[in-house]
Structure 1
Amino acid sequence: MTGALLSRQCGRQRPAAPEANRTQAQFPVVPPAKAGGAFLAFAAGDALGWPQEIPRNVRSSAHGASPRMEFQTWTRRTGGRFRPYEETIGAGEYSDDTQLTLAVARSRTNHSADWWKAFMRVELPRWTIYERGGGGATKRAAQAWLAGSPPWQSGKMDAVRRYFDAGGNGVAMRVLPHALFLAGQDDSAVLVHDVVRDGAATHGHPRALVGATACAYAAWSLARRHRTLGFGELLDLLIDEHSGWGAFPDMERGGEAWSAAAARVLDEPYERLWQRTVDEMRQLLEQARNGIRAGALADDRAVLDDLGCFGRFKGAGTVTAAAAAYLAARHAAQPAQGVLRAAFERGTDTDTLAAMTGGLLGCLAGDEWLPAPWRDVQDAAYLRRIAGQVALGPSGAEQRPVETPAATQSILTDLARNGDHEVALGESTRVQATALPDLKPLSNSITVHAWRLRTPEGQTLYVTRVEENRRSRRAGPPKAEPSSVRRPSSDPATSKSDPATPAVSDSGADVAVDQGDALYAEFQRQLRTLLSNGPARPKRIEEALGLIPLQVRKWLERMEHGGEIERASRNPVTYALTRKTLL
């Protein structure tokens, strides 16, 4: 995004940004118990629902189990059809929902006015190294930011269209930090501004953005309340105050480049599409309210079915937001039951639904209701600590410089060293890395290495690296890449759908070579660095960049055709930067 996002909201002037490193006394705008309860319940719902989400990926009894408060260790099948392997997920470990929520929270608390720059330039690209279970649209966008360009500025029209078609719940699931951070603001326009700004970094369809603003508005309203919530009252609030979360945002969200890209690929003006989506969201909330009027006899599964939670739109931002609001309103008096209902409603996006439901109920009821096992969810101490920082609001945010993240290949190379050691993730971020036993491959052609990283703040990150065994290849060095940057599988059992219209496979047909613009741009950048030291043979390029020969040959031909590189010699073949590139 080249310009400021939403310089105004509905004609109202946005309040001035908080001053950096304010020195006045810092008092939480949200009670720490509410903030901590919301973060812990969010992560617990994520951890409980993750093994229930995609049955074909689970190789243990965790899937299909009766609802229970305790976390379970389970085995996950991942890697797609060509590089399948099994990964053991420890009891209470969370997925991408909590990972990205923490990424937003760090951006807000550490970088004040530059939070969005930190999120898109540091947190999203870095997440590609350690993501667990990420949705297709978010991963594609993260790869684009990793390559240095917004997803709506891809060179391929199909990629831009996919960005504007992305209407999944990948935005709504990460809005909790915004709601708590801005709970002291009386004008909801500030909240909507920041949620849309965050969301547009990965998703372009109003289904993603409107679902996110509605969920954020619900959490923001609950965090500000000082009394208990009546049965179904949250749905009444969202319906009655739809102008607070549904107002059309200023079209400066990404500058002229964003608006021009939207106009090129959409069949109607964005404002009209936004308003139709707001109407859709209101209708979903009305359906939820009708379902809750049955009182204690309300059939949760039937209501969720009516909302579309088990159909082709189950991962849509609007559907998941309406479902989370329903479960929070329905189970306000028994919050744990609401989270369990979401986590074990098999056939829907269980981890995201349970996480969002838990976050809303934590904003309502604090932390006293949390069952004992949920207080030991992965990184519980860090979750409480960063929740407390978020609860301070803008006055407690720091203005740290936005660092330059380390290159993916540099991190992976550093991880390959033996023993426990420190690894640099950026100019000022170092983590403690511990090598784990290799994961179980489901193909003889690969080896899968794994590491556990521990940040100084206390978050745990897991990184896997897939290597193609040398004996399975005719030529060239082993292929090595983080599992999160592999081309997404077309098998719907291996990745989340992220729909705006009927769910579409994350990648289409599986292919051996990925020529996506984001990864190609990263290849260009790394190759320029390598060739700046002199000509190199293709084999040297393969070894240095950790790519298979076919991939390297295709991209070298593309760069040669574009005049960026040239053959410095024919026998042996070597490549060098052209004069144009050097200039």
Structure 2
Amino acid sequence: MKAETKYKGSVKLSAIGDALGWITEFEKNTQSLNEKFGTKRIDSFHTWKKVVGGRFYGFIDTIKAGAYSDDTQLLLAVARSIKKDGASDHNYFAKTELVNWLEYARGGGRTVKVAADKIQRKSVKWFNNFYSYKINGENYDYKQSGANGAAMRVLPIALANLGNIEKIKEEIFCNSIITHGHPRAILGAMLYGYALNQIIVYRPEDFNWENYITHIGLDFPKKFELSFANRAEIREWIKEWNKTGNTTFETIYSETLTETQDQLRFVFQSIKQTLPVQETLKKLGCFDQATKGSGTATVIAGIYLATKFHKTPLEAVIEAVNALGSDTDSIAAFTGGLIGALHGHNIIPDKWKSVQDFEYLDQIAEMLLAISEDRFEENRTPLTSNLKTLNNIVEDDFDLDEEIEFAPLGNGKITLIDRQPTLTKGKYNLLLETALENGQTILVSKLFNDPTYSKRIDEPNEIEMLLGLAKDNLRPKTLEKLKKYLSKQKKMPTEQLEILFTIIKNEE
């Protein structure tokens, strides 16, 4: 099998897993799936809706069938940050790609968004983005961020440096600490890169799952020791990390190595004993609210599914997608990346080829292969056009089909404009969907004051907005009961409306 086939398979099936898993990420049971999508098991793309930006100032984002989330958006951002020698331009990723990603982020978690915001501080370099913040009385600390927001984006680093394990680990470590400070996030990302590097060299017919998992777990602490810790930036980062707290980074990292090796041993036994998928994922912590997004557990879940279903590869992705209650989009992306690296892109069924930006994903895969084969020529030219920019929009003066520019992705054309009034009167959200010349599509939103607010007579009232949200989130019988109740209310107190909005939104 050609290397190009495997590279394209890995990149595209990662995005496909992300897109399918994003549909189920907020679903709690098969009954909910059946009522919304007419099926109890998601194996194809569907259009769905999501409330973004909070109740008072938010908007309804219509997610088109095949659209991917932040997992793939940031994967592409990392890919664009890799230089011709396979090394990553970490400053470029942190200060340009990551910062501007906030303008078009879809589905991004709190940790990555906060990190992207904090990295904008002039005094902060890519390797010292330490921060803490408080939300609703609860403290959040960069050092405690151990979720999979780093692992989900590092596939390009592994593909660009195929065969060079030490470089893969070092580059992934550096990329990870831009946003995440806990060893689980960092080790999970390095483990995913290592697992990709191992599986891609197999021919599907020669794949031996026992050898594969055994090789990953063999001498695990030695395999993942930080041999590059003397790199100046990493040395400074560890020193800063150890300034606060009673336990050093090295100690927690060592404990995480042992914990992760034990999880790999469990996965090996699970496959050997043919334990059910649900039971295995539960024991990995994938359904526990405190650990479901763990950087190590979700990567191991991807390794487990890709390995267990290596003879029926599409089923591996579908199992991840339908593990309701888990971090389905990230686990499915990990599973897809591994399965694609093993089997190549020829296994992708036609119904999955409508994933967002299919051709651009191919281009990225070709670029990563060219870098790995030392034949890539960089062509990162700065924007010089005089077109309107979608960065930091200040005026609502855009037209359909208008040509624009967006740093750092280049020029493009507006393909959809939507204006949605918010629950807070006198405000509205401007939504601009844009097809960029590089092949990527993005959606940028901006909250504006409505200058015509006092003159409008067609503005939806709060009851109408409540019903609009209810139609998307409630079951038919519950919706009918709510309609009957609301029809009897001549006037409803604001506090009562807020309670209803909160309840209905939490049904997602």
TM-score interval, smaller chain: 0.7 to 0.9
Does the aligned pair in 1 maintain the 2:97–2:408 contact within 8 Å?
A: no
- 1:263 and 2:247 are equivalent in the alignment: no
Instruction: Confirm or deny that 1:35 pairs with 2:7.
Output: yes
Q: Distance in 2 between matches of 1:251 and 1:65?
A: 53
Distance 2:409 2:143 in 1: 34
- The residue identity in structure 1 corresponding to 2:229 is D
Match of 2:49 among 67, 71, 75: 75
In percent, how many aligned pairs have the same letter? Answer: 29
The letter for the 2-side match of 1:315 is G
Q: 1:117 aligns with which of 91, 105, 130?
A: 91
Task: Give secondary structure in 2 for the equivalent of 1:412.
Answer: coil
1:10-66 alpha-carbon deviations (Å, 9 max, x no partner): xxxxxxxxxxxxxxxxxx9x711101111111111111111211249x999557942
408 and 54 in structure 1: CA distance in 2 versus 1, 3 angstrom threshold: farther
- Is the 8 Å Cα contact of residues 389 and 396 (structure 1) preserved in structure 2? no
Specify whether residues 154 and 161 from structure 1 end up closer, same or farther in structure 2 by C-alpha distance, changes over 3 A only.
farther
Letter paired with 2:444: V
For the residues of structure 2 that align with 1:404 and 1:112, how far apart are their CA atoms?
24
Residue type at the aligned position of 1:266:
G
Counterpart in the other structure of 1:438: 419
Map of 1:214 onto structure 2: 191
8 A contact 1:111–1:402 mirrored in 2: no
Q: How does 1:348-363 map to 2 (within 5 A)?
A: 348-363=326-341
Query: C-alpha separation between the residues in 2 aligned to 1:404 and 1:272?
Result: 46
Question: What residue number does 2:457 align with?
Answer: none
Q: 1:250 is paired with a residue of what secondary structure?
A: coil
Within 2, Cα distance between the matches of 1:472 and 1:155? 42
Q: One-letter code of the match for 2:193?
A: A
Q: Secondary structure at the match of 1:413?
A: coil
Q: Deviations over 1:225-272 (max 9, x none)?
A: 345322454322221252575212405463565234212223212111
- What does residue 369 of structure 1 align with? 347
**Structure 1: how far apart are the matches of 2:195 and 2:300?**
10
Query: Is the Cα contact below 8 Å between 1:217 and 1:244 reproduced in 2?
Result: no
TM-score calculated relative to the size of structure 2: 0.79
- Whether 1:322 aligns to 2:329 is no
Cα deviation code 1:158-194 (max 9, x no counterpart)? 5897111111000111121111111143xx1111001
What is the DSSP-based 3-state SS (H/G/I as helix, E as strand, rest coil) of the residue aligned with 2:116? helix
Q: Deviations over 1:101-147 (max 9, x none)?
A: 11111111579656222211211111010000111111111112234
- The corresponding residue for 1:451 is 432
> Which residue of the partner structure matches residue 283 of structure 1?
262
Inter-partner Cα distance in structure 2 for 1:155 and 1:270: 14
Secondary structure at 2:447 match in 1? strand
Matches within 5 A, 1:103-182: 103-108=77-82, 113=87, 115-148=89-122, 149-150=124-125, 162-182=141-161
Partner of 1:487: none
Aligned to 2:506: none
**Could you tell me the TM-score, scaled by structure 1's length?**
0.69
Residue 417 in 1 paired to residue 389 in 2? no
Asked whether the equivalents of residues 213 and 245 of structure 1 are also in contact (C-alpha less than 8 Å), the reply is no
Q: What corresponds to 2:168 in structure 1?
A: 191
CA distance 1:263–1:67, change in 2 (3 Å) = same
In structure 1, how many angstroms separate the alpha carbons of the residues matched to 2:297 and 2:195?
15
- What displacement does 1:360 show? 0.6
In the TM superposition, 1:467-482 aligns within 5 A as 467-469=448-450
Q: How far apart are 1:403 and its partner, in Å?
A: 4.8
**Root-mean-square deviation (Å):** 3.2
**Letter aligned with residue 195 of structure 1:** I
Paired residue secondary structure (2:103): helix
Q: Is the 2:148–2:295 contact (alpha carbons within 8 Å) kept by the matching residues of 1?
A: yes
Structure 1: gaps spanning 5 or more residues = 1-27, 474-492, 494-583
Greater CA drift, 395-404 or 36-45: 395-404
**What pairs with 1:8-87 in structure 2 (closer than 5 Å)?**
31-55=3-27, 61-62=35-36, 65-87=39-61
> Counterpart of 1:463?
444
Select between 422-431 and 200-209 the one with higher mean Cα deviation: 422-431
Q: C-alpha separation between the residues in 1 aligned to 2:186 and 2:83?
A: 22
Letter in 2 for 1:99: Q
